[in-house]
């Protein structure tokens, strides 16, 4: 209850404050009935007086403003939470991509004819798809596209192709990190 509310009666201002604090849907009649029930010994202004003041002072308009402010606060909290979740997801995708590329490069350094080239393609696909998903979550174009075809006899071409792809992704990550730093400096 409102601290300024008198112990002996509930004034128009008290009623108005209680009405604006009500959850939606607000109802003057319901609030009046609740106050009569909750405070049977207090003098409560008449319903006619409440309606007269509510119309002349535009309580409904004021209630809309209060509701809009509450909705904005809730929306901001929700947006902040979602932004944090997306940042976490994009960081995890970026780490997955980097880890896959590191494993791929380590494997390329020690590859033998008996190694399965399909395993290398799988690692490459994980890296590329992780970066694509990260880009989508950040609202960036998923511009890492392409197709890898390989010939078991020509592992050198595969190594070269993967190395070029890795360097391209690495440059893209470095550029994004630099852009984030620039954006953060602008915000501060």
Q: What is the mean pLDDT of residues 14-42?
A: 87
Q: What is the mean pLDDT of residues 49-56?
A: 88
Question: H/E element holding 10?
Answer: strand 9-10
With b meaning 16 or more CB within 10 Å and e meaning fewer, what string describes 30-49?
Answer: ebbeebeeeeeeeebbeeee
Give CA separation, 178 vs 61, 141, 144, 174, 185, in Å: 48, 18, 19, 6, 11
Residues 102-142: pLDDT tens digits?
777 777 777 665 556 666 677 777 777 777 777 777 766 66
Q: Is the pTM of this model over 0.75?
A: no
In the structure encoding, which two tokens stand for residue 105, read together?
């490069």
Q: Report whether pLDDT(169) > 70.
A: yes
Q: What is the mean pLDDT of residues 19-27?
A: 85
Q: Report whether pLDDT(22) > 70.
A: yes
């Amino acid at each position: 209850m409102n601290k300024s509310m008198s112990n002996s009666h509930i004034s128009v201002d008290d009623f108005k404050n209680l009405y604006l604090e009500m959850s939606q849907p607000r109802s003057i009649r319901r609030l009046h009935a609740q106050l009569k029930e909750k405070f049977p010994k207090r003098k409560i202004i008449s319903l006619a007086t409440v309606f007269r003041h509510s119309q002349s002072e535009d309580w409904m308009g004021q209630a809309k403003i209060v509701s809009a402010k509450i909705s904005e606060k809730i929306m901001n909290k929700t947006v902040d939470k979602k932004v944090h979740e997306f940042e976490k997801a994009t960081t995890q995708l970026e780490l997955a991509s980097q880890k896959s590329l590191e494993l791929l490069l380590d494997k390329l350094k020690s590859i033998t004819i008996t190694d399965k080239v399909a395993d290398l393609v799988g690692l490459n696909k994980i890296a590329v798809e992780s970066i694509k998903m990260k880009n989508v979550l950040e609202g960036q174009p998923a511009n890492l596209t392409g197709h890898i075809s390989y010939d078991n006899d020509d592992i050198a071409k595969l190594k070269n192709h993967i190395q070029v792809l890795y360097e391209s992704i690495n440059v893209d990550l470095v550029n994004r990190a630099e852009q984030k730093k620039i954006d953060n400096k602008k915000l501060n």
